[in-house]
Amino acid sequence: MRLWIYAIGQMRGTAEGQLCDDFIDRARKLGRGLGFTGVAVVELSVSRLREPAARMKDEAERLAARLPDGAHLVLLDARGKGMKSEDFAEMLGSLRDVGTRDLAFVLGGPDGLAPLPGKKAGRSLAFGPQTWPHLLARALLAEQVYRAITILAGHPYHRA
């Protein structure tokens, strides 16, 4: 199964970007032997439209156009449901085991994420009730993907 993180905004040259890259690289290496054939981040630029609602709509349209056909979608949204790391790992493992080809996590930009035209999400995920900066949320997601893969591998990184 290929794991994708589709996100609005560029992380290049940021501390969050370095952290995200590190966890993605670790997940990619460890995941190969567990049936995760790829772990990748796809960045799209923040919309330049003036009004927040118009920006979010533009970003959602561009995200929807780039998502792999048939991908299982998980939207990151403050209104979503939280998951324990073990449950997150179980979700990844279950989707892999039933033959899901692509699992795409979708993060909006600084204004949030509008509905994706023509796409239906499998779930909406939140990292607690707090609001996180979108770049930090992406780094948190990359860490959780890596953590889930370590849990599935029986690796000692996850000590809970």
Average pLDDT over residues 30-46: 96
Q: What pLDDT, on the 0 to 100 scale, is given for residue 19? A: 96
Could you tell me if residue 124 is inside a domain?
Answer: yes
Could you tell me if residue 136 is inside a domain?
Answer: yes
pLDDT confidence tier of residue 128, bands split at 50, 70 and 90: confident
> Looking at residue 137, which CATH number applies to its domain?
3.40.1280.10
pLDDT at 131 over 90: no
Reported as a single tens digit per residue, the pLDDT across 54-102 is 999 999 999 999 999 999 999 998 888 999 999 999 999 999 999 999 9
Tokens of 26: 């670790």
Query: Which pTM does this prediction carry?
Result: 0.94
Could you tell me if residue 159 is inside a domain?
Answer: no
Domain enclosing residue 74, as ranges: 2-153
Could you tell me if residue 104 is inside a domain?
Answer: yes
Q: What pLDDT, on the 0 to 100 scale, is given for residue 159? A: 82
Q: How many domains does the chain have?
A: 1
